[in-house]
C-alpha cells in the first residue's frame, strides 16, 4: 500500500518548553513556525507547572528554550532535583534534547547540567555577536558566518565528549556557542545564541535550528 500522490508525510512530534522572565513564548513559537520544510509538529508548554514526564510519550525531540521559571510572571523553579531525571531517561531511551539560549541555565541542577554538558555563567550587555560555524559538521552544514545583536553567553563546558560545531565572538571574547553529545541511545544539541527575534528569524540561524532538529531525530548524520 502506498501513499496517495498528494499525501503529506507524517510529521514527528517535538515538545517545546518556552517562556521565562526574560524570554516570551512568542519569540520561540514564531521562530520555530517560520522553519521551512521542517518535518515536525511543535507542541508548546509555556507553564512549567503544567508538565509531567508523560508528555514525552511518542515525542522525537524535546526542546528547552526556557530558564528555570514556571512562567514569565512566576520565577519559582519548574524543574527540580526530583523531576530532572526524566530528561536523562528520555535521552537515554533514544530521544533528542535541544537546549537553546536560556535552556542552558540549569547550572544548579547537577543531573540536568551533566546531561547538557555545561551551563550558562554570565553575559555582558547585548552587543554584536558573530556566529562562526565549524566546517564539516552536520548541524552547521550550509550555515555561513553571520553577525546579530544578541546576548553573548559565556558558558562552562564541563565535558570532554562535546562536539563543538560553532563559536560565538564579540568584543568580550570567544565562546563555544553550540555543541552536541550523546547519552545512551539518544542525542543532545546545545545552541547558546537566541535572545531576540532578530536572531531566531535570521536565515542562517533558521538553518541551524532545522539541522539541529533533524540531527536529534536521527534524520541527519
Residue 56 within a domain: yes
Assess whether pLDDT exceeds 70 at residue 5: no
What residues does 13 pair with on adjacent strands? 41
Q: How many domains does the chain have?
A: 1
Residue 21 lies in a domain: yes
| Residue 85 covered by a domain | yes
For residue 1, is it within any domain?
Answer: no
Mean pLDDT within 4-22: 82
Query: Could you tell me if residue 7 is inside a domain?
Result: no
**Residue 135: C-alpha distances to residues 145, 190, 200, 214 (Å):** 11, 17, 21, 18
Q: What is the pLDDT of residues 174-212, one digit of tens each?
A: 999 999 999 999 999 999 999 999 999 999 999 999 999
User: What is the pLDDT at residue 3?
Assistant: 44
pLDDT in tens, 24-69: 999 999 999 999 888 999 999 999 999 999 999 999 999 999 999 9
Q: Following CA atoms 17, 23, 28, 31 in sequence, which dihedral angle do they give, to the nearest 10 degrees?
A: -160
| Residues contacting residue 85 through CB under 8 Å, at least 6 positions apart | 111
Q: Residue 6 domain-assigned?
A: no
Would you say residue 3 lies in a domain? no
Q: Is residue 188 part of a domain?
A: yes
CATH number where 139 lies: 3.40.50.880
What is the span of the domain harbouring residue 144? 12-216
Express each pLDDT in 99-126 by its tens digit.
999 999 999 999 999 999 999 999 999 9
Amino acid at each position: 500500500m502506498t501513499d496517495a500522490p498528494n499525501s503529506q508525510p507524517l510529521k514527528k512530534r517535538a515538545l517545546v518548553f518556552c517562556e521565562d522572565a526574560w524570554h516570551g513564548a512568542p519569540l520561540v513559537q514564531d521562530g520555530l513556525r517560520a522553519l521551512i520544510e521542517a518535518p515536525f509538529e511543535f507542541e508548546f508548554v509555556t507553564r512549567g507547572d503544567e508538565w509531567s514526564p508523560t508528555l514525552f510519550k511518542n515525542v522525537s525531540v524535546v526542546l528547552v528554550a526556557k530558564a528555570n521559571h514556571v512562567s514569565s510572571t512566576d520565577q519559582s523553579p519548574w524543574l527540580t532535583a526530583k523531576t530532572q531525571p526524566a530528561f536523562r531517561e528520555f535521552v537515554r531511551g533514544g530521544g533528542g534534547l535541544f537546549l537553546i539560549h536560556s535552556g542552558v541555565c540549569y547550572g544548579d541542577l547537577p543531573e540536568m547540567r551533566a546531561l547538557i554538558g555545561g551551563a550558562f555563567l554570565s553575559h555582558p550587555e547585548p552587543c554584536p555577536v558573530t556566529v562562526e560555524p565549524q566546517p564539516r559538521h552536520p548541524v552547521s552544514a550550509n550555515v555561513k558566518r553571520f553577525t546579530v545583536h544578541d546576548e553573548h553567553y559565556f558558558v562552562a563546558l564541563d565535558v570532554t565528549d562535546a562536539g563543538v560545531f560553532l563559536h560565538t565572538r564579540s568584543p568580550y571574547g570567544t565562546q563555544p556557542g553550540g555543541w552536541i553529545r550523546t547519552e545512551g541511545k539518544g542525542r543532545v544539541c546545545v545552541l547558546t545564541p537566541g535572545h531576540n527575534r532578530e536572531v531566531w528569524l535570521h536565515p542562517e540561524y533558521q538553518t541551524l535550528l532545522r539541522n539541529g532538529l533533524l540531527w536529534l531525530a536521527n534524520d541527519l548524520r
